Chains A and B, each alone.
Chain A
Amino acid sequence: MWAHRCEVAVSGVGFSKVTRSAEIPLAAHALEAVKAAVEDSGLSMSDVDGLATYPELPATGHAVIDGVTIVSVNCMMAMLKLPNLSWHIQVETVNIGGAFQQAVNALLAGVCKYAVVWRAMHNPKGTYQNLPGTYAQGPAQFTAPYGFGGPGQGMAVAYTRWLETHGQSREKMATLAVTQRRHCHMNPHAYFHKQPLTREDYLSSRMVAYPFCLYDCDIPVQGAVAVVLTTAERARDLKPRPAYLAGYGQRLKFEVTGRIGSLSSYMDGGRSSSSLTWERSGFAPKDVDVAQIYDGFSASVIYGLESYGFCKEGEALDFIQNGRIELDGELPLNTFGGSLSTGRIHGLWHIIEGALQASGRAGERQVKDVNVSFVGASAPIVTGTTFIFVREPY
């Protein structure tokens, strides 16, 4: 077990307004979310002394403009002018979960006391994946000429492989989309809050990249979420009940850049990240009371459930049936609605919900008697990070 388990906790959380596309600069969303998280903690801005983010712009073919299409650490420093800032970082390999983990490490190292982590996501007006190129360079020279453009097709081929090798049918995924949408009706910050989705809507929706239909894809939005992390001791003195971090892990495998269609890349990534998390926390999948698993595309949940060890390979679409992932089910899943319902804010929202469920602060959608709260914060293939939050330190 990890010597530092339950020494760091999530305190406040914050959300910006989520809009379909950019109406105001992204920096305004990030600022709103960060201010809300600090206020939720009962702290003032001058207490914040650590900053971490992963600012990447997933929309391709659009200019990276700090404050408008991304919000970097530099941008946040310029906006906040923190008098006591003592540490900051921007990460690359493991996405926003990696930024969160670095903040944990900084707190454990004692180089900051109150770290803010945020994720701000831009949705440009017009085409999201702008792919006008006449030429294909680098690894794309072997994929782009065949119409492999956005991430959708890259994920779709792995899903087809999963479906056909396990003799499964994509129609079963309707349960995930519909259940998550129902969950988001109890999350006022979600983009699809109070907009119903039926099984029939899912089954009759237009195909995007088979086996993915429209409702297998999260919707690009403009918005930001933020979280305050601090040491467990300090967290106990703050306003909200802390969610203690019991363990974390990151993906330890990477297949060659440009390699697509490989299901093993998802499974190896998820297994390596989750086994660290199980080992460090001392928990096992059977101990988990509630789970948030990244769902930028629906199939990521399938790979997550299987590679993290919640069910056997090839069985995830059966595992999610018969009420198991409902709020009162055996494994309540993506209780905030997931990216499919909140909009594409990447994995920090999954982390936030995991923390809220652990601290009993999830409001209307709170799962009963939660102690162990699991989070898989991104697609396990390239950016996989996993976390366990607990209500009671041990």
Chain B
Amino acid sequence: MSDWSKVARPIPVPNEWTKPFWDSAKQGVLSLQRCQACRRFQHPPYPTCVNCMAIDLAFEPVSGKGAIYTYTIMYHAGDKRFAAAVPYASIIVELDDAPGALMAANLLDAPYTEAKVGRRVEVTFERLNDDITLPQFRLEGFGVRQSRGAMSEESA
């Protein structure tokens, strides 16, 4: 399992157009940009809808469940900020609610070898500081397995 505790992640700097994404993540809700005309989600956010040319866009919550669209395992430690976590899985997630919108993340709480195209994942949140909470992903059902594990340990 990659050790993320010593990683100094670059802190996202929200701008006027991306702020709702980060405000929502801070509340533990994943929201993506959605075209109010054709209802299509898109990510990363863009000034216009790249599907229908509408300019009326708003951020709306999504379920946070999806599948690994693709991934890479980073072995190279050239980027010193991430060197402590090498090797680690950087993944691209396609959400059930937002086909075609591709989100970058890390696969948390699982060995990097668990990253496979098509694996089911769910959103989780990693607090970076008072202002920024990072949407991240872990294998689907991880939360349920964790609490069951905790209960059976208690009863034993």
The reply to whether the CB of A153 lies closer than 8 angstroms to some CB of chain B is: yes
Among the stretches A99-107, A126-134, A196-204, A335-343, the one at the interface with B is A126-134
Among the stretches A67-75, A156-164, A306-314, A360-368, the one at the interface with B is A156-164
- A164-B116, A165-B117, A261-B70 given as contacts; is B10 within 8 A of A144 (CB)? yes
Q: Check if B11 sits within 8 Å of A145, measured CB to CB.
A: yes
Shortest beta-carbon distance, A187 to chain B, in Å? 28
A137 cross-chain contacts in B, Cβ below 8 A: 13, 15
Nearest to A144 among chain B residues (CB) is B10
Q: Check if A143 sits within 8 Å of B76, measured CB to CB.
A: no
The CA of A208 and the CA of B75, in the complex, are separated in Å by 5
> A residues 130-157 with Cβ under 8 Å of B?
131-150, 152-153, 156-157
Interface residues on A, range: 35 or more
Q: Check if A160 sits within 8 Å of B72, measured CB to CB.
A: yes
Q: Check if B102 sits within 8 Å of A261, measured CB to CB.
A: yes
8 extra A-B contacts, CB within 8 A, seeds A142-B12, A152-B76: A145-B134, A146-B105, A147-B74, A147-B106, A164-B116, A208-B75, A209-B74, A255-B50
The reply to whether the CB of B41 lies closer than 8 angstroms to some CB of chain A is: no
The reply to whether the CB of A206 lies closer than 8 angstroms to some CB of chain B is: yes
A208 cross-chain contacts in B, Cβ below 8 A: 75-76
> B residues 1-36 with Cβ under 8 Å of A?
7-15, 18
B42 cross-chain contacts in A, Cβ below 8 A: 256
The CA of A153 and the CA of B116, in the complex, are separated in Å by 16
| Other-chain contact of B10, A135, A209, A262 (Cβ < 8 Å) | A135
> How does the 8 Å CB contact mask read for B122-149 relative to A, with 1 for contact and 0 for none?
0000001000001000000000000000
Q: Check if A136 sits within 8 Å of B10, measured CB to CB.
A: yes
Would you list 5 pairs from A and B whose C-beta atoms are within 8 A, ordered by A residue?
A135-B13, A136-B10, A149-B79, A157-B90, A259-B102
The reply to whether the CB of B85 lies closer than 8 angstroms to some CB of chain A is: yes
- A256-B42, A261-B70 given as contacts; is B12 within 8 A of A147 (CB)? no
Q: Check if B90 sits within 8 Å of A129, measured CB to CB.
A: no
Q: Check if A146 sits within 8 Å of B71, measured CB to CB.
A: no
Q: Check if A145 sits within 8 Å of B10, measured CB to CB.
A: yes
- Seen from chain A, the residues whose Cβ lies within 8 Å of a Cβ on chain B are 127-129, 131-150, 152-153, 156-158, 160-161, 164-165, 206-212, 255-263
Most buried by B among A128, A131, A141, A206: A141
- A153-B74, A160-B71 given as contacts; is B106 within 8 A of A146 (CB)? yes
The CA of A138 and the CA of B15, in the complex, are separated in Å by 8
Shortest beta-carbon distance, B124 to chain A, in Å? 13
Q: Could you count the A-B residue pairs with CB atoms below 8 Å apart for me: how many are there?
A: 125
Most buried by B among A139, A258, A259, A262: A259
B50 cross-chain contacts in A, Cβ below 8 A: 255-256
B44 cross-chain contacts in A, Cβ below 8 A: 139, 142, 256-259
B79 cross-chain contacts in A, Cβ below 8 A: 129, 131, 147, 149-150
| Other-chain contact of B70, A134, A135, A164 (Cβ < 8 Å) | A164
B103 cross-chain contacts in A, Cβ below 8 A: 142
B70 cross-chain contacts in A, Cβ below 8 A: 157-158, 160-161, 164, 261, 263
- A134-B8, A134-B10 given as contacts; is B106 within 8 A of A161 (CB)? no
Q: Check if A261 sits within 8 Å of B69, measured CB to CB.
A: yes
Shortest beta-carbon distance, A108 to chain B, in Å? 34
| Other-chain contact of A157, B13, B14, B72 (Cβ < 8 Å) | B72
The CA of A147 and the CA of B90, in the complex, are separated in Å by 7
Shortest beta-carbon distance, B111 to chain A, in Å? 14
Q: Check if A209 sits within 8 Å of B134, measured CB to CB.
A: no
B13 cross-chain contacts in A, Cβ below 8 A: 135-137, 141
The CA of A203 and the CA of B82, in the complex, are separated in Å by 26
Shortest beta-carbon distance, A297 to chain B, in Å? 12
- A139-B44, A147-B90, A262-B102 given as contacts; is B12 within 8 A of A157 (CB)? no
Q: Check if A133 sits within 8 Å of B10, measured CB to CB.
A: yes
| Other-chain contact of B71, A157, A256, A257 (Cβ < 8 Å) | A157
A127 cross-chain contacts in B, Cβ below 8 A: 78
Shortest beta-carbon distance, A79 to chain B, in Å? 34
The CA of A128 and the CA of B79, in the complex, are separated in Å by 10
Most buried by B among A134, A148, A257, A263: A148
The CA of A151 and the CA of B79, in the complex, are separated in Å by 13
Shortest beta-carbon distance, A125 to chain B, in Å? 15
| Other-chain contact of A209, B12, B76, B117 (Cβ < 8 Å) | B76
> B residues 80-129 with Cβ under 8 Å of A?
80-82, 85, 87-88, 90, 92, 102-106, 116-118, 128
Shortest beta-carbon distance, B49 to chain A, in Å? 11
Shortest beta-carbon distance, B21 to chain A, in Å? 8
- A127-B78, A256-B44 given as contacts; is B88 within 8 A of A147 (CB)? yes
